[in-house]
């Protein structure tokens, strides 16, 4: 009887979801009052929506990133502190990943068109790709702001902003007194605390078998788990798969991996590094000195690294 009462008095999980950043974002809060959780989730979701609006280069709404991308080559442009900070982080990761992660591929990403409302069904011409490729040094910090160094240099935070938004969402939940929660943005996750007296349980998707999990994890505390894969935004053209993660050196979709999962402290770092290592799967030495855990499925579907 006492056991039954204990089970009944444990509050149920509070769940809610929103469509943000082109994906279903699911919020789960454990061990908290329902009304307080609902208020916290709404505030977190609003913050994540604000971040999407501030960073997106798609849609009709104007923002500082779009204004920067239209700015005169060589001119110094002031960016809001939040954008300036994420840009500086992104450029550090570009350097650390030997250019695999590149936040200045906006022109090239737009040409491939995977984030456009009308998704393409065939690749652009080699000539168009060459013309959209930015030079290695593209964005420069000036005393008073940032400058584009070439007409092809356009910011695109698509591989890091979702992680940043998840981190901010968690921060907002915490500010509302929530200690146990998961934010899951289409498989990109950060979790805090635990699920009652159990760890949180999450599954990492199999890159080819829909609905199948390639690995389950039990995690608690404060952890981010982010996957970059070639199976979500892609098309097959003449028996070949074309997807949305581009190798900045070739201008074509990276072809060494099917999926790369990264566990890190922040979702922002995990997001950027899962994209970076998706491109440089052939150079695992890049990740040697990073404080991250990894699961790499190579282009033949073999697990070539697993430190999860």
Q: Which of residues 160-179 bind ligand ADP (CB under 6 A)?
A: 162
The option from Mg ion, ligand ADP, none interacting with 279 (CB < 5 to 8 A, set by class) reads: ligand ADP
Q: Is 156 in the site for ligand ADP (CB under 6 A)?
A: yes
Least separation in angstroms between CB 159 and Mg ion: 4
Buried b (16+ CB within 10 A) or exposed e, 272-300: bbbbbbbbbbeeeebbeebebbbbbbbbe
Residue 139, beta-bridge partner list: 148
In the complex with ligand ADP, which residue's Cβ is closer, 258 or 275? 275
Give yes or no for residue 158 binding ligand ADP (CB under 6 A).
yes
User: Measured from the CB atom, is 105 or 264 closer to ligand ADP?
Assistant: 105
| Cα dist from 58 to 4, 53, 94, 233, 302, whole Å | 52, 9, 23, 16, 35
Q: Please tell me whether residue 279 binds ligand ADP under the rule CB under 6 A.
A: yes
Q: Which of residues 235-274 bind ligand ADP (CB under 6 A)?
A: 244-246, 248, 271
Among 91, 105, 166, 286, indicate the residue that binds ligand ADP (CB under 6 A): 105
The interface region with Mg ion, picked from 8-16, 132-140, 189-197, 270-278 by CB under 5 A, is 270-278
Give Cβ neighbours of residue 12 (< 8 Å, ≥ 6 apart).
Answer: none
Toward ligand ADP, which CB reaches closer, 18 or 244?
244
CA end-to-end span of the chain: 40
* Length, in residues, of the chain: 308
Residue 55 binding result from ligand ADP, Mg ion, none, given CB thresholds of 5 to 8 Å by partner type:
none
| x/- map, 120-159, Mg ion, by CB under 5 A | ---------------------------------------x
> Which residues within the stretch 181-200 sit at the binding site for ligand ADP (CB under 6 A)?
188
Interface with Mg ion, residue 97, by CB under 5 A: no
Whether 221 contacts 262, CB under 8 Å: no
Nearest to 201 by CA among 214, 183, 189, 219: 219
Lookup result for tokens 């444990």: 10
Is 230 a binder of ligand ADP (CB under 6 A)? no
Site for ligand ADP (CB under 6 A): how many residues? 21
One-character DSSP codes across 98-163: TTSS-TTBHHHHHHHTTTSSS--SSPPPHHHHHHHPPPSS-EEEETTEEEE-STT-B---TTTHHH
273 CB-near residues (< 8 Å, 6+ apart): 93, 97, 101, 262, 264, 287, 290, 292
Select from Mg ion, ligand ADP, none the partner in contact with residue 248, using the beta carbon and a kind-dependent cut-off of 5 to 8 Å. ligand ADP
Burial tier of 162 (Cβ tally within 10 Å: 0-12, 13-18, 19+): buried
Window of 109-117, 127-135, 143-151, 210-218 that interacts with ligand ADP by CB under 6 A: 109-117
Nearer to Mg ion (CB atom), residue 180 or residue 258: 258
Q: Which 111-150 positions form the footprint of ligand ADP (CB under 6 A)?
A: 114-115
Q: Which residues contact 220 (CB under 8 A, 6 or more apart)?
A: 191, 193, 194, 195, 199, 200
Which residues of the shown chain bind ligand ADP in the complex (CB under 6 A)?
Answer: 101-103, 105, 109, 114-115, 156, 158-159, 162, 188, 228, 232, 244-246, 248, 271, 275, 279
């Amino acid at each position: 009887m006492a056991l039954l009462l204990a089970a009944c008095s444990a509050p149920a999980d509070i769940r809610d979801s929103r469509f943000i950043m082109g994906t279903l974002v699911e919020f789960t809060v454990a061990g908290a009052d329902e009304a307080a959780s609902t208020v916290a989730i709404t505030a977190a979701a609003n913050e994540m929506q604000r971040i999407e609006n501030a960073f997106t280069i798609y849609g009709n709404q104007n923002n500082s990133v779009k204004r920067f991308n239209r700015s005169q080559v060589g001119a110094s442009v002031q960016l809001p502190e939040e954008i300036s900070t994420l840009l500086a982080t992104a450029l550090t990761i570009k350097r650390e990943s030997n250019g695999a992660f590149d936040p200045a591929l906006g022109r090239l990403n737009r040409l491939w068109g995977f984030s456009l409302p009308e998704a393409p069904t065939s690749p652009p011409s080699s000539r168009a790709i060459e013309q959209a490729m930015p030079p290695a040094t593209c964005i420069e910090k000036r005393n008073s702001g940032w400058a584009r160094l070439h007409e092809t240099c356009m910011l695109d935070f698509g591989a890091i902003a979702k992680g940043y938004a998840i981190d901010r969402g968690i921060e907002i939940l915490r500010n509302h007194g929530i200690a146990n929660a998961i934010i899951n943005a289409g498989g990109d996750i950060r979790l805090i605390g635990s699920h009652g007296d159990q760890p949180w349980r999450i599954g990492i998707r199999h890159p080819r078998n829909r609905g199948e999990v390639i690995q389950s994890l039990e995690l608690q505390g404060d952890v981010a788990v982010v996957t970059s894969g070639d199976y979500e935004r892609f098309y097959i053209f003449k028996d070949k798969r074309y997807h949305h993660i581009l190798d900045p050196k070739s201008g074509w979709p990276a072809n060494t991996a099917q999926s790369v999962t990264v566990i890190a402290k922040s979702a922002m770092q995990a997001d950027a590094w899962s994209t970076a290592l998706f491109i440089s799967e052939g150079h695992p030495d890049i990740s040697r000195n990073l404080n991250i855990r990894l699961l790499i499925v190579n282009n033949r579907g073999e697990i070539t690294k697993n430190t999860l």
